[in-house]
Amino acid sequence: MTTAELFTSLGLSQEQPGGCFSSTAWTSAAGAGFVESRNPSNGAVLGRVCACSDADYTILVDGVCQRQLSWRQVPAPKRGEVIRLIGQALREHKDALGTLVSLEVGKIKAEGDGEVQEMIDMADFAVGLSRMLYGQTMQSERPRHRMYEQWHPLGVVGVITAFNFPVAVWAWNAFIAAVAGNTVLWKPSPKAPLCALAVHHLCNRVLDDAGHPGVFALLITDRNALADRMVRDERLPLISFTGSVPVGRHVAEVVGHRLGRSLLELSGNNAVIVDETADLELATRAIVFGAVGTAGQRCTSTRRVIVHESQYEQLVSRLRFAYAQVTIGDPLMPDVLMGPLIDGHAVARYQAALDAVIQAGGEILYGGHVLPGPGHFVQPTIVRAQHDWDIVQQETFAPILYVMTFQTLDEAIHMQNAVPQGLSSALFTQHLRQSETFLSAMGSDCGIANINIGTSGAEIGGAFGGEKATGGGREAGSDAWKAYMRRQTTTINWGTELPLAQGVRFGR
Ligand code: UN1
């Protein structure tokens, strides 16, 4: 399929408005400039999107607020039915949308498709959830009283996403928010406007046909001031933000100040511990996928390997061998395992991190070079490092893997926990005691802790998120839906007396 055919099949054109509320209601192209989409593999412009103006913002937010008043009255299982239809539309367009993800953010096709599959899984999950959203019933201490809790929609949910998962992370939030009775305003990364538009075309067509236009609205902008207006907007009771720690901290402060809710998914500095009993074949495969997949640009990417000193030589030689097999290039080519970084800034950060680690005394064990353009390609890199070096404490969104050694598991767990971030973690072991120690309260301090599985590639059924500088939010599965609803405790007196709680007597 040519790019032109791909665009047509996804309803995209070379130039289009960047704000929409339904498949017919588009914002005007009123002079707020353009957001340009570039292919990171060759720098070519894929399309131009008219950025939203302040006036567009007002129209979009008024629209989703208005629409929520009717959407909240639709029974949750009926809302789920609409999400089921969206899941079906995504299945039909999986190949095209997966290709667009590859084109716009440089993931290999298998990972682009995987991301669309993650949306489909999320839709299925949300459909089931729409018949649950359970509240509990409590035993009242008073006669002829009934006490229970119920969950109501919050209102309008604001979702701000990053370039690295340009479609799936929105789906985690939006599908659950929608079955919960909320409408959603999405500000995608300005580095991936076409993915957001294509997804909105698909969803809006379904929503319009089902008679529910305007449940999802899209705000494309590259202006921080407009994003900030969204974060400050009291009509958005929840802001779900995926991105960097400094911006996440700002979001938390601003939303906290207005006593709104924020759901934060910030950085990761994820480690794989490989102990003296580990199956090195499994560990190697998991580490390569975790460190090289998505060119190291997942929040869950493996950034550190903490290996028992007895396994160090073997593991490093296996990793070097595996890295040498990684074909780098056009992410749409079938044999390619690693595409480009997102842009020139990302390449500069890769280079700066390597300069810093070498300066600190690190030894490059594999790679270490920026590849000639066009396109933002770098070599996946392995560096022997120390866990307490400044650069090792930071998340660099690039395929750089720091390797360090340990003698006792306690030491390894200490190293793994001794970073600001707390997203994902993994231990490779065949030893029950080591595994249980790692999973115990004395073990990993992360939101995700795996045994004999790498740090990335989580299923949607579990709650996704992490502790400390990762922000504490949980998205996707388990009971993450509760963040998108408000809890109401209800007590009903069906008797003829008015007994007070705690046996209090008031007056006669
Ligand atoms: C992210 O990088 O923001 O676990 C999300 C994973 C994916 C999601 C990553 N399911 O790697």
- How close is the Cα of 458 to the center of ligand 1, in Å? 6
Q: For ligand 1, what atom is nearest to the CA of residue 460?
A: 10
Band (pLDDT 50/70/90 cuts) for residue 23 is: low
- Inform me whether the pLDDT recorded for 25 exceeds 70: no
pLDDT recorded at residue 1:
80
Percentage of the chain with pLDDT > 90?
93
**Strand, helix or coil at 269?**
coil
Band (pLDDT 50/70/90 cuts) for residue 508 is: confident
Q: For ligand 1, is residue 457 a contact (CB within 6 Å)?
A: yes
Contact 106, 171 (CB under 8 A): no
Residue 217 gets the label, from left (phi > 0), alpha (psi -120 to 50) or beta, of beta
**Strand, helix or coil at 375?**
coil
pLDDT recorded at residue 368:
98
Ligand 1: which of 299, 423, 425, 450 to mutate, judged by most atoms within 8 Å of the beta carbon?
Answer: 299
pLDDT tens profile 336-374: 999 999 999 999 999 999 999 999 999 999 999 999 989
Average pLDDT on 18-31 reads: 67
Question: Which residue CA neighbors atom 6 of ligand 1 most closely?
Answer: 457
Among the listed residues 104, 115, 265, 475, the single catalytic one is 265
Mean pLDDT, the chain, whole residue set: 96
pLDDT recorded at residue 33:
87
pLDDT tens profile 420-452: 999 999 999 999 999 999 999 999 999 999 999
Which positions ≥6 away from 224 have C-beta within 8 Å? none
- Inform me whether the pLDDT recorded for 32 exceeds 90: no
Q: For ligand 1, is residue 107 a contact (CB within 6 Å)?
A: no
Tokens of 433: 């005691």
**Strand, helix or coil at 120?**
helix
Cα separation of 170 and 90, whole Å? 14
Q: For ligand 1, is residue 450 a contact (CB within 6 Å)?
A: no
Q: For ligand 1, is residue 300 a contact (CB within 6 Å)?
A: yes
Average pLDDT on 287-297 reads: 98
Q: For ligand 1, is residue 27 a contact (CB within 6 Å)?
A: no
Ligand 1: which of 115, 165, 424 to mutate, judged by most atoms within 8 Å of the beta carbon?
Answer: 165
Distances (CA, A) of 164 to 60, 151, 189, 227, 415: 25, 32, 9, 18, 27
- How close is the Cα of 275 to the center of ligand 1, in Å? 25
What backbone torsions phi and psi does residue 264 show, to the nearest 5 degrees?
-115, 135
pLDDT recorded at residue 22:
65
Q: Of residues 99 and 3, which shows the higher confidence score?
A: 99
pLDDT tens profile 233-265: 999 999 999 999 999 999 999 999 999 999 999
Sign of CA dihedral 200, 23, 34, 97: positive
- Inform me whether the pLDDT recorded for 107 exceeds 90: yes
Percentage of the chain with pLDDT > 70?
98
Helix axes 94-105, 193-209, angle to 10 degrees: 150
Band (pLDDT 50/70/90 cuts) for residue 29 is: low
Model confidence pTM above 0.80: yes
pLDDT recorded at residue 19:
72
pLDDT recorded at residue 18:
74
**Strand, helix or coil at 135?**
coil
- The reply to whether 141 belongs to the active site is no
Band (pLDDT 50/70/90 cuts) for residue 30 is: low
Question: Which residue CA neighbors atom 3 of ligand 1 most closely?
Answer: 299
Q: Give the single-character DSSP code of 314.
A: H
- How close is the Cα of 228 to the center of ligand 1, in Å? 25
Q: For ligand 1, is residue 455 a contact (CB within 6 Å)?
A: no
Q: For ligand 1, is residue 165 a contact (CB within 6 Å)?
A: yes
**Strand, helix or coil at 166?**
coil
Q: Which of 4-13, 279-288, 353-362, 416-425 has the lowest mean pLDDT?
A: 4-13
> Which of 418, 157, 115, 160 has its CA nearest to residue 271?
418
**Strand, helix or coil at 398?**
coil
In sequence order, what are the beta bridge partners of 153?
A: 485
Distances (CA, A) of 385 to 143, 292, 299: 67, 18, 21
Ligand 1: which of 242, 460, 464, 474 to mutate, judged by most atoms within 8 Å of the beta carbon?
Answer: 464
pLDDT recorded at residue 299:
97
- How close is the Cα of 30 to the center of ligand 1, in Å? 36
Give this complex's ipTM. 0.98
